[in-house]
Chain A
């Protein structure tokens, strides 16, 4: 006998209609084992940790859950989904859907999230910078930049620069180095100049379905105008979105995170790694390329290819890596007694005795550098993107202006 869930609990209709990835299940499959709450790095600060959230949502208390600040404490680290023994679609499906429903009902997201949405809607980037300044990173760059928005031409690699690498001061040096590396590898690459807009991963995670869809539409039309063999990104969030979510809208592209892209060309990369970089390095697996896409080896292979680098592992690595704390929720989480996860993680990095914490996600550079200052580890451990370390070994870093 099939249970008519809509009659038992009308809210269940919403919960069970969710679009889940192949192989994933809806909340009806949850057996309340508590693995998610036990794994969630912020559960201790939540009014409704994940297990409780599911319990209340499917028992007719969805409204309470939607109004709770806990709904906005999930940073999308994906540990719950990764470990759920019943394959319930959690961080990728249930949370965004509940957030969407909450906002439809008039619940206001945290201020930072709100500002980010408005900035993306108006300016195409979460930082609220002028779209006309998107190519500022390439000013006086010492390699030629093919701006496909100005002159269309077929390319091997369409490099989607993304918001943080384009605008954030700390990230620009990484972006420029990557441009040099692509050129040194003899790759025919191009960028979309000021026409680029956010891919929308964070917008989707935070439940702005409408905004995400509008970004997919925009990007699908934009990419459709160009010829390329592959899309490469520095940003793991955008990579994950294009890999996992864009296809659901019929926007499927061959896309790679830069670590995979470069690892596939290991021989050519190795040939350029001429200078030794004497450092003990520990690598932080970011949640998107790591746990979400289960891609752990290419970044390590790149680091080990650099002469002089000694790679050590943190206590939590690969699928168990600790999230850096995510985006836009710091103030909200702090207001509700949550820890700054990046503080925890930088201490763990220092415990390995490494002198360098290597990352491959643009959000993490300034986060971890900030945490190093806060916990008093500045000077003791440096934070570098893998691109920076590669560039150092390739002698492709920024040159001092005479």
Chain B
């Protein structure tokens, strides 16, 4: 028999709580209000004490500290969470759709034989049933899924929920691992950080981001000229970086940087969720795409349905003339 609590698996990213963790706390508070349960935040690591404050939206904050949890290795992480789920028996577990979450969520779900729902955008509670709306098919389709079983693991899409100002009881419990740990067959060695000699796109006021619509490497200079005219920098979605047309330090999205410039001009970017999550909080988003149904227009403030190879040079000229 499960409790009605909602458990959030928090993560840190280079010394700070990940944005998705704060968003999931907001989601958890909303769901817990419906189930009548508490919000439990769990953070695994070598020493989570610095992050307790940031998790104060939760009612209970479980800091599981162990040297083997310092860098991510699947076996110790899953072993700890598996044990916690058995003890706490929550109604639902919220895990971010992150590099760690995408490994841990399905592994946990598989081991415990509980459902795992990808791309969760919203959750409603009623009559003992959790109804989750999940996004798939590249953002083109939404599924409303009814779940009576407990627990259910929800992989939460970044940006779907908002962080909350609400404070919980924020009771901190610091413990070692509930089970003996071993590093396992897949061991974290080191984190390779990007070359810092390139421009830091997270510090720019203006970014011009290019996607597949740029078509050829030759055309990147059109975007570069626009960025230069605005005193900004060039950024890109993953396919462009994969091609080697721009370095990884320019990548915006799930597996790249999260940017919040004053202004972001998205050229030839369709708006796939993995990219959008990295730029959705930008102050002013102007998107140019030939497809009027491109999901980017759901995120942008202004849109132009046209060929970026025409619009970008015209815009650059207009800016220089202005």
Direct A–B touching, Cβ under 8 Å: yes
How far, in angstroms, from A330 to B309 measured CA to CA in the complex? Answer: 15
Instruction: Kindly state whether residue B2 has any CB partner on chain A within 8 Å.
Output: no
Contact among B217, B290, B309, B313 for A331, CB-based, below 8 A: B217
Find out whether the CB atom of B307 lies under 8 angstroms from the CB atom of A111: no
Instruction: Kindly state whether residue B197 has any CB partner on chain A within 8 Å.
Output: no
Chain B residues lying within 8 Å of A373, measured Cβ to Cβ, are: 313
Given contacts A331-B217, A373-B313, contact A169 B290 (CB under 8 A): yes
How far, in angstroms, from A373 to B290 measured CA to CA in the complex? Answer: 21
Chain B residues lying within 8 Å of A331, measured Cβ to Cβ, are: 216-218
Question: Which size class do A's interface residues fall under?
Answer: under 10
How far, in angstroms, from A373 to B313 measured CA to CA in the complex? Answer: 9
Instruction: Kindly state whether residue A334 has any CB partner on chain B within 8 Å.
Output: yes
How far, in angstroms, from A112 to B290 measured CA to CA in the complex? Answer: 19
Chain A residues lying within 8 Å of B290, measured Cβ to Cβ, are: 169
Within 8 A of B (CB), among A308-344: 330-331, 334-335
Chain A minimum-CB-distance residue to B309? A370
Instruction: Kindly state whether residue B87 has any CB partner on chain A within 8 Å.
Output: no
Find out whether the CB atom of B243 lies under 8 angstroms from the CB atom of A111: yes
Chain A residues lying within 8 Å of B313, measured Cβ to Cβ, are: 373
Chain B residues lying within 8 Å of A330, measured Cβ to Cβ, are: 216, 218
How far, in angstroms, from A334 to B216 measured CA to CA in the complex? Answer: 11
Within 8 A of B (CB), among A101-121: 111-112
Within 8 A of A (CB), among B274-322: 290, 307, 309, 313
Chain B residues lying within 8 Å of A334, measured Cβ to Cβ, are: 218
Chain B residues lying within 8 Å of A169, measured Cβ to Cβ, are: 290, 307
How far, in angstroms, from A169 to B309 measured CA to CA in the complex? Answer: 12
Chain B residues lying within 8 Å of A370, measured Cβ to Cβ, are: 309
How far, in angstroms, from A312 to B307 measured CA to CA in the complex? Answer: 33
Chain B residues lying within 8 Å of A111, measured Cβ to Cβ, are: 216-217, 243
Chain B minimum-CB-distance residue to A169? B307
How would you classify the secondary structure of chain A's contact residues: helix, strand, loop or mixed?
Answer: helix
Question: Which size class do B's interface residues fall under?
Answer: under 10
B 198-233 binary contact with A (CB < 8 Å = 1; else 0): 000000000000000000111000000000000000
Chain B residues lying within 8 Å of A335, measured Cβ to Cβ, are: 217
Residue from A169, A330, A331, A334 whose CB has the most chain B CB atoms within 10 Å: A331
Quote the shortest CB–CB distance from B192 to chain A (angstroms). Answer: 27
How far, in angstroms, from A111 to B307 measured CA to CA in the complex? Answer: 21
A 165-178 binary contact with B (CB < 8 Å = 1; else 0): 00001000000000
Chain B minimum-CB-distance residue to A111? B243
Residue from B217, B243, B313 whose CB has the most chain A CB atoms within 10 Å: B217
Quote the shortest CB–CB distance from A17 to chain B (angstroms). Answer: 35
How far, in angstroms, from A373 to B243 measured CA to CA in the complex? Answer: 27
A 54-70 binary contact with B (CB < 8 Å = 1; else 0): 00000000000000000
Quote the shortest CB–CB distance from B79 to chain A (angstroms). Answer: 44
How far, in angstroms, from A331 to B217 measured CA to CA in the complex? Answer: 6
Chain A residues lying within 8 Å of B307, measured Cβ to Cβ, are: 169
How far, in angstroms, from A373 to B221 measured CA to CA in the complex? Answer: 14
Quote the shortest CB–CB distance from B127 to chain A (angstroms). Answer: 43
How far, in angstroms, from A383 to B210 measured CA to CA in the complex? Answer: 28
Quote the shortest CB–CB distance from A346 to chain B (angstroms). Answer: 16
How far, in angstroms, from A331 to B309 measured CA to CA in the complex? Answer: 15
Chain A minimum-CB-distance residue to B314? A373
How far, in angstroms, from A370 to B219 measured CA to CA in the complex? Answer: 11
A 271-301 binary contact with B (CB < 8 Å = 1; else 0): 0000000000000000000000000000000
Find out whether the CB atom of A112 lies under 8 angstroms from the CB atom of B309: no
Chain A minimum-CB-distance residue to B218? A331
Quote the shortest CB–CB distance from B263 to chain A (angstroms). Answer: 24
Quote the shortest CB–CB distance from B19 to chain A (angstroms). Answer: 34
How far, in angstroms, from A370 to B312 measured CA to CA in the complex? Answer: 12
How far, in angstroms, from A41 to B198 measured CA to CA in the complex? Answer: 38
Within 8 A of A (CB), among B239-272: 243
How far, in angstroms, from A111 to B309 measured CA to CA in the complex? Answer: 19
How far, in angstroms, from A175 to B267 measured CA to CA in the complex? Answer: 28
Chain B minimum-CB-distance residue to A334? B218
Quote the shortest CB–CB distance from A334 to chain B (angstroms). Answer: 6
How far, in angstroms, from A166 to B216 measured CA to CA in the complex? Answer: 21
Besides A330-B218, A331-B217, A373-B313, 12 more A-B contacts (Cβ < 8 Å) are A111-B216, A111-B217, A111-B243, A112-B216, A169-B290, A169-B307, A330-B216, A331-B216, A331-B218, A334-B218, A335-B217, A370-B309
The 5 lowest CB-CB distance pairs between A and B, nearest first, are A331-B216, A331-B218, A331-B217, A330-B218, A334-B218
* Interface residues in chain A, defined as those with a beta carbon under 8 Å from any beta carbon in chain B: 111-112, 169, 330-331, 334-335, 370, 373
* 15 examples of A-B residue contacts, CB within 8 angstroms: A111-B216, A111-B217, A111-B243, A112-B216, A169-B290, A169-B307, A330-B216, A330-B218, A331-B216, A331-B217, A331-B218, A334-B218, A335-B217, A370-B309, A373-B313
